[in-house]
Amino acid sequence: MKAFFDKVIVGPLQEVVRKIVAFLPSLLTGILVFAAGLVLAWLVKLLVVRIIRLFKLDATLARAGVPDALKKMAVKDPPDRLIGRTFAWLVAFIFFILALKVMKVPVIDELLEKLLLYVPNIIVALVILTLGWLLANFLGRAALIASVNAGVKLASLLSRGVKAVVLLFAFVMAFEQLGIGRHTVVAAFAIAFGGIVLALALAFGLGGKDLARKFLEKRIRKDGEAGPDDLKHL
């Protein structure tokens, strides 16, 4: 009975304890590496915020309308702190990976390998989203100014539409890069975009036929009839 008890209970328990004891140094090293990473991340955050303020990049970001855009996305932190925090998380993440590596657990190693291979996709997707956001703002403002100068009453709506379409493009490209619902997203985008175009065509065709007629008349009519006034600006 004792031999059976030793074989079934004590033996495996001793084996577990032995493995835990053998794993303890690696675990301790991992915890130390991660703790060092957290301290470093905190320092990096302070440094990045200091650099941004030193070179007045926060003022540049403010002029570019970044704080307003962040507020619209319910982000309360100012851009400099947000960037600092992003860098801190990046450092913490890198040290977390290092800590896991140090612990040499086969399953975690395998998972890490897959994660690391996926990281470039995340970076590319973030770059696509950032560029898309900048382009959307630029084109949105260009459309707004052009339509105001053309006397279009719905200039603001038009501008928001242009911005939304560019952002939609950016999101679709980013999702495709991440491999999330690749076919579904593209199909949904095609349906949504086609739908918008069709809706606009119907809206203009039915609701705006008089406007279109006036527009064409204005474009086609002879020079003698042109111009609402005779001002010569130059």
Partner 1 sequence: MSDRPADPSRNEPGNVPAPDVEILVGIPSFNNAATIGHVVRAVEAGLTKYFPGHRSVLVNSDGGSTDGTTDIVREASVDYESILVDHRQGGLRKLVTPYHGIPGKGSAFRKIFEIARELGVRACAVVDSDLRSITPEWIELLVKPVLEEGYEYVAPYYLRHKYDGTITNTIVYPLTRALYGKRIRQPIGGDFGFSGRLASLYLDKNVWESDVARFGIDIWMTTTALATGARICQAFLGAKIHDAKDPGADLSAMLHQVVGSVFGLMEEYAGTWRPVRGSEPAPTFGFAYSVGLEPIHVNLDRMMEMFRLGIKDLGPFYRSFLPQEVLAALDGLAGETDRDRFVYPDEAWVRTVLSFALACHRQVASREHIIKSLTPLYLGKVASFVIATWDSSAEDVEKRLEELCLAFERDKDYLVGEWESKA
Name which position in 25, 65, 179, 181 contacts partner 1 (CB under 8 A). 65
Name which position in 81, 133, 156, 176 contacts partner 1 (CB under 8 A). 156
Whole-number minimum distance, CB 111 to partner 1, in Å? 46
From residue 159 to residue 188, what is the string marking binding to partner 1 with x (rule CB under 8 A)?
A: x-----------------------------
Task: Please report, to the nearest 10 degrees, the dihedral formed by the alpha carbons of residues 99, 104, 108, 111 taken in order.
Answer: 90
Q: Is 45 helix (H, G, I), strand (E, B) or coil?
A: helix
Whole-number minimum distance, CB 95 to partner 1, in Å? 37
Per CB under 8 A, 59 contacts partner 1: yes
Pick between residue 22 and residue 231 the one whose CB is nearest to partner 1.
231
Query: What would the DSSP string read from start to end of 19-72?
Result: HHHHHHHHHHHHHHHHHHHHHHHHHHHHHHHHHHHHTTHHHHHHHTTHHHHHHH
Whole-number minimum distance, CB 228 to partner 1, in Å? 4
Contact criterion met (CB below 8 Å) for 139 and 163: yes
Pick between residue 59 and residue 191 the one whose CB is nearest to partner 1.
59
Name which position in 9, 122, 126, 146 contacts partner 1 (CB under 8 A). 146
Handedness of CA 55, 85, 45, 174 (dihedral sign): negative
With a CB cutoff of 8 Å and minimum separation 6, the contacts of 173 are 128, 132
With a CB cutoff of 8 Å and minimum separation 6, the contacts of 77 are 70, 85
Per CB under 8 A, 138 contacts partner 1: yes
Pick between residue 106 and residue 228 the one whose CB is nearest to partner 1.
228
Per CB under 8 A, 225 contacts partner 1: no
First to last CA, the chain: 110
- Using CB under 8 A as the criterion, which residues of the chain lie in contact with partner 1 when the complex forms? 56, 59, 63-65, 138, 141-142, 144-146, 148-151, 153, 155-156, 159, 223, 226, 228-234
